[in-house]
Structure 1
Amino acid sequence: MTDSALPSAAVPGVAVRRSRLPLLLALTAGLLVGAAATSYLTHDRGVPDIVQGTVSGVAAVSDQGDVQAIAFRFDGRDYAGPGMGEGIPVVPDVPWTDAAGQDHQGDRPSCLAAGAYGRRVELGVLTVGGEGPWTTQLVVWVHCLQ
């Protein structure tokens, strides 16, 4: 019997190569789908938007404690009434810059002090994904404009 007349099971390695082909194709397809999904989900993430507006409220545990969230009126948006704004959480120990351009870390931004409503600020706002009853925005840095 010649090699061409032998059944594929009798030829060493032929059956093994044929059974690996679907597995390799499935693995390659899975890797491509995973890479595409990762690229889609992480595209343009991690870079905060720079926005300006007015602080209309500050939420903190105490007058000296970390700011947990702010009510903020974005420039260029219409609001139903005066003082109304959008609630945005603030990262703990948020890095901030005062009106003179001095960088700070580890203390509360002066423009987000208790009762500091109406202060003009510039914020780094990160858009975060996910589904649920929480906000999709997070303040990651603060620049006090006044």
Structure 2
Amino acid sequence: MAARLEHVNVTVSDAERTAALLGRLFGWRVRWSGCAMAGGRSVHVGSDDQYLALYTPPNGGGTRWPKGTPLNHVAVLVDDLDETEARVAEAGLTPFNHGDYAPGRRFYFLDGDGIEFEVVSYAAGARSDVSA
């Protein structure tokens, strides 16, 4: 399988409100919701294969951001995480924030413009020696 877009993570002022709107507009469902980094909240809304991760920071309500700044990261799903990480490093980029989590493994890297990418694999046999 070629790598494919799995999710995009954006900051919104009210994750539940935005998820409800996108559900009405596109027929998407909430795949997951819960506590997130820095005391914020996240709601994942979309289909079984792809979704938007909507993040609301603790200061949430009513916050407005300049155009273009709410993008947190873009996630790409791959079959072989280790092979992809090797290619990222060969490109002169630095993988970071490795982690095992149910149901897979992940790492992040920043491209030359500072855009954060998360690389995810749900392939069987996730390593247990990955450090966070």
Q: What TM-score bracket applies, with the shorter chain setting the length?
A: under 0.3
TM-score computed with the length of structure 1 as normaliser: 0.24
Going by fraction, where is strand more abundant, 1 or 2?
2
TM-score computed with the length of structure 2 as normaliser: 0.26
Going by fraction, where is helix more abundant, 1 or 2?
1
